[in-house]
Chains A and B, each alone.
Chain A
Amino acid sequence: MRRFTLIAIPYLWLFALFLVPFLIVVRISFSYYELSIPPYGPQLDLSTGWDGVKAFFAELNWENYAFLTGDDLYWKAYLSSLKIALIATFFTLLVGFPIAYAMAKAAEEWRPMLMMLIILPFWTSFLIRVYAWIGILGTEGYLNQLLLGIGLIDAPLTILNTNVAVYIGIVYTYLPFMVLPIYAALEKMDDSLLEAAEDLGCTRTQAFWLVTAPLAKSGIIAGCFLVFIPSLGEFVIPSLLGGSDTLMIGKVLWEEFFSNRDWPVASTVAVILLLILIIPIILFQRNEQKQRETDG
């Protein structure tokens, strides 16, 4: 009996507050917009019994999906989210790998301290970390002041409210997610492997590509997915740092819901976003599983 309660409580909670809400989104994505409360139809009418249920299902349709695939705006938003997330993930790797590598090579007594320095920003408000860049990247921001001051540029650069600012925001906020898995992979590496490779005639660069890179591979893959997956649906960064032409699907969904109040379209946008995300999520889990098997 105790075991049953122990299982039932978290089970029912997640069922009621995760699965059911999501099924509601799926159901509304097959509905149509209507000026009523709630602003979509059809409504399930059980007073007419079985006929009501039949009428309800007859009225559900794929129209929103057809609309979304037909409309340029949404296609572009999905594609540009993918593009932004990919580019940002690449830059995060570029910035994160040397940090993780250096951490793994640091003296043992330094490592906990370095770890803490990487994790600390993660505990600090995400919103504030994004906000900090507004002051830096603006036309009169600190970066432009500095560059103008040392005479590197003649006119202020426009960075804020462009995609570049979004890349910087993503790299900055998601950096710990990239550094930690790579560090975890590299930390286990035995230095004598590199020595062996060099003894056998490899140059340092060759040894890096033949020994270090393959060993870091699973960490790199994990890190890339940990950055790519959340940044695809990102809302805060594009809306604070991006410009009006920065199209990201999280922002589109938000506006569709809060500004246009079109629940069916917002729900359809959500379902398609999730369908797109399934592929990287499955790949990520495979990588994790493979890693566990080689570890265990």
Chain B
Amino acid sequence: MRRFSWFNATSLTVGFVFLYLPMIILVIYSFNESRLVTVWAGFSTKWYAELMQNTAFLDAAWITVKVGFWSSTLATILGTMAAYVMVRGGRFFGRTLFSGMVYAPLVMPEVITGLSLLLFFIAIDLDRGVLTIVLAHTTFSMCYVSVVVSSRLVSFDKSLEEAALDLGCTPFDAFRSVTLPIIAPSVIAGWLLAFTLSLDDLVIASFASGPSSTTLPIKIFSAVRLGVTPEINALSTIMIGIVTVGVITASLVMKRNVARQKADEVRAAQG
């Protein structure tokens, strides 16, 4: 505490005001009576009511959630497999290429990922729609999942797995009853990350979507290009609210589980 000076307190305050004030303003003005977004004209929830009438937004939201669910579930399965292969897979043909392909999408600009997938879908004559967005999102978010999961796989004690194998488990059983419970928090974190990335993505979805599969970010982007509207403020507020509640709940649950698991591991190690 000796060095926690006024300077530090100021940087934290200014920093967090900078991070949160824009969103707080957005939330406040979503309750503004006036259509003019910069003039305060009294409290009202009418933009929320109007938003609920807007079927175009509701349809887009439904498509987005569907895409998010399927792509993050697929990405979690594939990403966990990829992480396991990289950490425990040993040597195999094309390993360098494999880890290159896992890491490259993380640094690839979204416009390039989007463009290449679109050209690919056209080349194989696959009609663009929900399916192509799911495929596109799965591909880039599985890489994020595998990074999250492999960092956990690296840090946990391999001898626990070996013990299970010695005691007669098949590799699959050992994975299911020993490895999976231990890496579960990171798998869940990976799923949440993949889901958020999918919900959030504008660029790749714009390339991969067809006319009948407009996602929420695409819809928001085309509305926002014309300027600030109270409906979008209301929609943003709902999204910010969901994320805040979600992240806080998830981190509380995770904290409890991690603590419990650490205790279990220690107990197991002490035997």
Contact = CB atoms under 8 A, between A and B. Distances in A.
B165 to A, nearest CB: 13
Contacts of B203: 235-236, 254
Interface stretch (B52-60, B176-184, B236-244, B262-270): B236-244
A114 B12 contact: yes
Interface stretch (A20-28, A61-69, A215-223): A20-28
Interface string B115-143: 11101101100000000000110110010
Interface string B187-223: 0000000001001101100000000000001001100
A18 B171 contact: no
Given A124-B23, A270-B115, A99 B135 contact: no
Interface stretch (A50-58, A72-80, A103-111): A103-111
B18 A95 contact: yes
A98 to B, nearest CB: 4
SS class, residues of chain A in contact with chain B: helix
Contact of B109 (A7, A141, A230, A267): A230
Contact of A125 (B8, B108, B217): B217
Contact of B107 (A18, A136, A281): A281
Contacts of B228: 131, 134-135, 138
A13 B101 CA distance: 10
A133 B23 CA distance: 9
B38 A145 contact: yes
A167 B28 CA distance: 25
A7 B224 CA distance: 43
B18 A120 contact: no
B144 interface: no
B119 A250 contact: no
A191 B23 contact: no
B11 A98 contact: yes
A14 B98 contact: yes
A253 B115 contact: yes
B102 interface: yes
Given A136-B22, A277-B109, A24 B12 contact: no
Contacts of B217: 125, 127
B221 A135 contact: no
Nearest to A135: B228
Nearest to B115: A270
B247 interface: yes
B148 interface: no
B19 A266 contact: no
B63 interface: no
Given A10-B78, A13-B139, A123-B196, A21 B117 contact: yes
Contacts of A99: 11-12, 15
A111 to B, nearest CB: 11
Interface string A254-296: 1001000001001100100110010001001000000000000
Nearest to A5: B81
A263 B217 CA distance: 24
Give the contact-size bracket for chain A.
35 or more
A21 B116 contact: yes
A131 B109 contact: no
Given A6-B85, A25-B119, A18 B239 contact: no
B8 A101 contact: yes
B98 A11 contact: yes
A28, A99, A123: residue with the most chain B Cβ atoms closer than 10 Å: A123
Interface string A111-126: 0001011111101111
A150 interface: no
B142 A135 contact: no
Contacts of B227: 134
Contacts of A128: 23, 26, 220, 236, 239-240
A17 B135 contact: yes
B22, B135, B203, B239: residue with the most chain A Cβ atoms closer than 10 Å: B22
A165 interface: no
A203 to B, nearest CB: 14
B102 A21 contact: no
A230 B136 CA distance: 18
Nearest to B171: A2
B109 A233 contact: yes
Closest 3 CB pairs of A and B: A233-B109, A98-B11, A21-B120
Given A125-B240, A127-B200, 20 more contacts: A2-B172, A15-B101, A101-B11, A102-B12, A105-B4, A107-B1, A107-B4, A120-B243, A120-B244, A120-B247, A123-B246, A131-B228, A132-B236, A134-B228, A135-B37, A135-B38, A141-B38, A175-B15, A191-B2, A236-B221
17 contacts: A6-B85, A6-B89, A7-B85, A7-B98, A11-B98, A13-B139, A21-B119, A95-B18, A107-B1, A119-B247, A132-B26, A134-B228, A135-B25, A230-B109, A232-B109, A235-B111, A274-B112
